[in-house]
C-alpha cells in the first residue's frame, strides 16, 4: 500500500473542528457536543437528539439543520419515582431513543443497577405535543416496560429502539451481551409491551469473547428491514472496539441475515463503519431521515486527538454521517453530514484518488483517462457506469478471479464508496477534492 498525506479543509469554523485523519473528514466533529449513544429524530422543522446522561434524566439537544446543536438540558428535573426505587444509586440513564407518532413524542430509556450488571430496566416517557420552547413541559412517565435480573435472566434490558413496520405494527429491539439482542412487539396505542407478546432473539456476536454487541436499531428501506448493531466494547476511549454492523430481513421480525446470508443469531453481519484514526470505535447511535427523506447515521466515536479523563485518550463525540445505498441495497458510510464536496471544473474521475479498504491505511491511486489505474506497483482497471465506479484488481492467488470493487459515486464524482465481493467496505476520495463551507 502506498501512503499519502491529505490535509482536509477546516469547515464551519464556529462549530466543527477537523485535524488530520487517515481518511479525510473521519475526524470531523461538533466542537461542543461530546456525547455517548446519540439518537436523532426529526420532529416538525427541528431535529431532536437525546443521549446517555451522567446523572440527570435524558439530556436533549436541538438543531434546525444538523450542523448547529443547542444543548437544552434534561427533559425532566427529577427521575421517575419507580426508577429511583429500582436504581437508587442515581446511575446513568443510558441510550434514550425517541419515537414520533404524529405530534406525540415518546422517549424510551434504560438504566442498570451498576455498570457490568444485567439487573437493568427499560422505561418510557411520553409527550402528547412536544414544544421545543418549553422542553420540560408536558411529559408523562409511562413506567417500566421490561426488566432483567442478574443471575436469573439471560438478556440485558438496555439500549431500546422502536420502529413501526409497513403494516403499522410497532416493535422494540434491545439488549446486549447476556445472550444477544432481542425484539418484542409493542401496543401502538400505549407504546408499552403488547399484551401477551413474547421477546425473541435476533442477533449475537459469536466472533468476540463474551458476545459483545449492543445498541440495536431497525429501519426500513427498499424492501428490507435493516438491523444495525454495535459490535465490541465501548467507554474505554481509544481502546474501545465498537464497530457498526448491519443485517437485513424481508420481514420486520426477521430473520436478519448478513452479507453472506448467515443469520445474525449465528453471528452473521455486514460491516458498515470501523475505526479509522483518530476516529476510534464508532457506534452506539441510530439511523434517521432528514426533511428531504435522505438517510443519516448518528453515533459517537472516540476522538483520539483529545484526552477524555485521567490517562484515557479518546473523548466521546458526536458524528452524523450520510448514508449511501449501494446498488445491492446495502447501506454504506458516506461523508459527514456537515460538509459538501464542490463540483470540479474537470469532468470525469481521472486523476489522483485516496482509497481505503476495510478502514485500514489508505493508498494513493492514479486513474488514467484510458481506464487503467495504478497503486504503487499494483495495476488494475476501472470503468464508470452511470453513478457506479467499478474497479478490478488482480489477485496473485487467483489470476482469473480479480477483486471487484463496486462503488457508488457521489454527484461530484469526487467521492465513492462500496464493497468488494467479500463485503469489505472500500472508500475513495479525490486528492484535490474541495469542500463547501456550510
Single pTM value for the model: 0.93
- Average pLDDT (66-90) is 90
Say how far apart CA 427 and CA 355 lie, in whole Å.
6
Domain end position, chosen among 296, 318, 338: 338
Handedness of CA 45, 168, 171, 323 (dihedral sign): negative
CATH code at position 259: 2.115.10.20
For residue 34, indicate whether it is catalytic. no
Q: Which distant-in-sequence residues (6+ apart) come within 8 Å of 173 by Cβ? A: 160, 161, 162, 163, 181, 182, 183, 202, 216, 217, 218, 227
Burial 157-172 (b: 16+ CB within 10 A, else e): bbbbbbbbeeeeebbb
Say how far apart CA 401 and CA 419 lie, in whole Å.
16
pLDDT at 12 over 60: no
Catalytic residue among 37, 161, 185, 303: 37
Domain end position, chosen among 317, 338, 359: 338
Catalytic residue among 159, 214, 303, 405: 214
- Per-residue model confidence (pLDDT) at position 92: 83
How many separate domains does the chain show?
A: 2
Domain membership of residue 424 as a residue range: 341-436
- Per-residue model confidence (pLDDT) at position 301: 97
Domain end position, chosen among 298, 315, 338: 338
- Per-residue model confidence (pLDDT) at position 18: 52
CATH code at position 416: 2.40.128.10
For residue 13, indicate whether it is catalytic. no
Confidence band (pLDDT; 50, 70, 90) for 287? very high
- Average pLDDT (310-333) is 96
pLDDT at 15 over 50: no
Q: By the 8 A CB rule, do 387 and 376 touch?
A: no
329 phi and psi, to 5 degrees?
Answer: 95, -10
Exposure of 396 by Cβ count < 10 A (0-12 exposed, 13-18 middle, 19+ buried)? exposed
- Per-residue model confidence (pLDDT) at position 10: 32
Q: Looking at the structure, do residues 274 and 157 belong to the same domain, yes or no?
A: yes
pLDDT digits (tens, 9 = 90+) for 159-195: 999 999 999 999 999 998 888 999 999 999 999 999 9
Q: Looking at the structure, do residues 320 and 373 belong to the same domain, yes or no?
A: no
pLDDT digits (tens, 9 = 90+) for 215-266: 999 999 999 999 999 999 999 999 999 999 999 999 999 999 999 999 999 9
Amino acid at each position: 500500500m502506498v501512503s499519502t498525506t491529505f490535509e482536509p479543509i477546516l469547515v464551519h469554523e464556529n462549530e466543527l473542528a477537523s485535524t488530520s485523519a487517515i481518511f479525510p473528514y473521519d475526524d470531523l466533529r461538533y466542537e461542543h457536543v461530546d456525547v455517548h449513544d446519540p439518537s436523532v429524530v426529526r420532529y416538525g422543522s427541528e431535529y431532536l437528539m437525546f443521549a446517555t446522561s451522567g446523572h440527570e434524566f435524558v439530556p436533549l439537544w436541538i438543531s434546525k439543520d444538523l450542523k448547529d446543536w443547542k444543548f437544552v438540558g434534561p427533559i425532566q428535573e427529577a427521575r421517575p419515582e419507580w426508577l429511583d426505587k429500582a436504581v437508587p444509586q442515581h446511575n446513568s440513564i443510558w441510550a434514550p431513543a425517541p419515537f414520533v407518532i404524529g405530534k406525540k413524542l415518546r422517549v424510551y430509556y434504560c438504566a442498570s443497577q451498576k455498570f457490568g450488571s444485567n439487573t437493568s430496566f427499560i422505561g418510557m416517557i411520553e409527550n402528547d405535543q412536544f414544544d421545543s420552547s418549553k422542553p420540560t413541559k408536558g411529559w408523562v412517565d409511562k413506567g417500566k416496560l421490561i426488566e432483567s435480573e442478574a443471575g436469573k435472566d439471560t438478556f440485558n434490558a438496555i439500549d431500546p429502539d422502536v420502529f413501526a413496520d409497513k403494516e403499522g405494527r410497532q416493535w422494540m429491539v434491545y439488549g446486549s451481551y447476556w445472550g444477544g439482542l432481542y425484539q418484542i412487539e409493542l401496543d401502538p396505542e400505549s407504546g408499552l409491551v403488547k399484551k401477551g407478546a413474547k421477546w425473541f432473539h435476533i442477533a449475537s456476536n459469536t466472533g468476540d469473547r463474551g458476545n459483545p454487541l449492543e445498541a440495536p436499531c431497525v429501519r426500513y428501506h427498499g424492501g428490507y428491514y435493516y438491523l444495525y448493531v454495535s459490535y465490541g466494547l465501548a467507554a474505554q476511549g481509544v481502546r474501545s472496539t465498537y464497530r457498526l454492523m448491519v443485517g437485513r430481513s424481508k420481514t420486520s421480525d426477521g430473520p436478519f441475515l448478513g452479507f453472506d446470508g448467515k443469520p445474525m443469531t449465528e453471528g452473521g453481519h455486514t460491516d458498515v463503519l470501523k475505526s479509522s484514526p483518530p476516529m476510534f470505535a464508532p457506534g452506539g447511535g441510530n439511523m434517521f431521515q432528514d426533511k428531504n427523506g435522505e438517510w443519516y447515521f448518528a453515533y459517537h466515536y472516540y476522538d483520539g486527538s483529545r484526552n477524555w479523563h485521567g490517562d484515557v485518550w479518546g473523548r466521546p463525540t458526536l458524528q452524523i454521517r450520510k448514508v449511501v445505498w449501494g446498488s445491492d441495497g446495502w447501506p454504506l458510510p458516506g461523508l459527514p453530514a456537515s460538509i459538501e464536496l464542490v463540483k470540479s471544473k474537470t469532468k470525469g474521475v481521472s486523476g489522483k484518488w485516496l482509497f481505503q479498504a476495510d478502514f485500514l491505511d489508505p493508498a494513493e491511486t492514479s486513474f488514467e483517462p484510458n481506464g487503467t489505474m495504478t497503486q504503487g506497483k499494483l495495476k488494475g482497471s476501472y470503468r464508470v457506469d452511470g453513478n457506479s465506479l467499478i474497479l478490478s484488481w488482480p489477485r496473485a492467488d487467483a489470476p482469473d478471479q480479480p477483486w471487484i470493487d463496486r462503488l457508488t459515486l457521489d454527484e461530484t464524482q469526487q467521492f465513492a464508496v462500496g464493497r468488494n465481493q467479500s463485503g469489505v467496505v472500500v472508500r475513495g476520495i479525490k486528492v484535490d477534492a474541495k469542500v463547501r463551507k456550510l
